[in-house]
Structures are given as structure tokens and as C-alpha cells.
Structure 1
């Protein structure tokens, strides 16, 4: 995989994690003012869509070796925990009330893994 494709993958993953955070934190506030958005904020399909989008991007970007041929196993582990938390939250495990904090924690872990992965690679300017 080229450095450009790897950089794009990490940037896309960081952006998607940001959208996930906006969804989790901002939409419930806006939902109080706009009931139509409240339906989207509570829609189970939205959480599954974020998790199902994040998982392959994380697998694609975090498992690629660096230019020196080494894999960043701690980043892979951090990303895997983040993705697992996204799926647990989408499944509303352990409770529906825990869904938002678990999703936020998963998104933060996944964002951190992608940001560290992005920083460890050379970038074309």
C-alpha cells in the first residue's frame, strides 16, 4: 500500500471517528429542540452503520506495516478495543443507558490509534 493511501485511510478513519463523536454528543442536545433529529439520534441502525464502517477501515489502516516493515501491535490492539466497544454499544450491551459512554470511549480509542498510526508514517508534502 502506498504512503498516500495509508495516510488517506488514517485521515478518513479520524474523520469518521469525529463524526461519531458529533453524533453521540451533539445530536442528543439538538434532539431536544428538533424531535425529527431525535429519531436519528436514537436509531439503532446509525450505531451499527458507524461500527460497520469503522471496522474495515481500522483493519485496513492499522494492520499495515510501517515503511521499515514493522507492525505497530499496540496500535492494532488499541484500535481493536475501540472497534469492539463500538460494536458492544451498538448492541446496547450491557444496557441502553451505557450506549453513549461506551460509544464515546470506543471512538476516542479508535481515533487515538489512527492519530498515532498517522504520526508514525512519513508524509509526502
Structure 2
């Protein structure tokens, strides 16, 4: 049962990463054509909400030991680095112009870590 919950955690985290990238890449294009969506395209709360949701899911899923009792520290580091980049982008550090590329790279890092974790867990049984 625990493996199934961890799998769903990885799937949820990958989905959040995809939503984050859609928010960063597609919403500004839609906002140009539909001004109402402009309220959400550059909303700081959305970036903090994505990062604040992704980080605990990543910490929980990626830090869980496998059936042999070991943890994959490389995946944990990759996911942690991705989460850190999401928080950096939310804080607009180092500059506002870097927000989208830093968010996309952070989201890809997190999605990759969760995808590899999911794959490892499916072969772990």
C-alpha cells in the first residue's frame, strides 16, 4: 500500500511540474489575447503556491527509502535543486527577467527526479 501512495505522490508531483510550466509558458500568451487571464499570468501568489506545494511533496516522495532500505541521494539532490529553483523564481531572484527560465528548469528537474523515482519504485517490487 505504501508503494502505491508513493507512486501517486510522484505522479502528482509530475503533474504539478507540468501545471507550473503551463502557467509560465502558455498563460502569458493567452493573457495577451484574453485580458482577464492577465490577472493570473504574473500573479506572485501563484508562483509561491506552486513552489510551496511542490517542495513538501518532493521531500516526502524522494526521501522515502526503497525496499532495500536505501535512499537515492542523487534523486533527492536533483529534486531539492529543482524545488530551490522554483523558490528562487518565485522570489524573482536574481531578476524578474529570469523568472520563467528558472521556473522551467526547476520544474523539469523536479519532474525528472519524480519520473526516475517512479521508475525505480516500479522495478523495486
Q: TM exceeds 0.5?
A: yes
Aligned equivalent of 2:86:
86
Aligned equivalent of 2:43:
43
Question: C-alpha distance in 1, partners of 2:38/2:102?
Answer: 19
SS in 1 for 2:122: coil
Q: CA deviation at 1:65?
A: 0.7
Q: CA deviation at 1:122?
A: 2.6
Question: C-alpha distance in 2, partners of 1:86/1:14?
Answer: 14
Q: Which moved more, 1:74-83 or 1:30-39?
A: 30-39
Question: C-alpha distance in 1, partners of 2:16/2:114?
Answer: 11
Q: CA deviation at 1:39?
A: 1.5
Q: Which runs of at least 4 in structure 1 moved beyond 6 Å after TM superposition?
A: none
Aligned equivalent of 1:56:
56
CA offsets, 1:90-123, max 9 Å, x none? Answer: 0000111110000000000000000000000137
Unaligned runs of 5+ in 1: none
CA offsets, 1:52-106, max 9 Å, x none? Answer: 0001000010000111111000000000100000000000001111100000000
Question: C-alpha distance in 2, partners of 1:71/1:23?
Answer: 32
SS in 2 for 1:67: coil
SS in 2 for 1:97: helix
Q: What's the TM-score once normalised by structure 1's chain length?
A: 0.95
Aligned equivalent of 1:30:
30
Unaligned runs of 5+ in 2: none
Q: Which moved more, 1:45-54 or 1:29-38?
A: 29-38
SS in 1 for 2:20: helix
Question: C-alpha distance in 2, partners of 1:34/1:24?
Answer: 16
Aligned length: 123
Aligned equivalent of 2:118:
118
SS in 1 for 2:94: coil
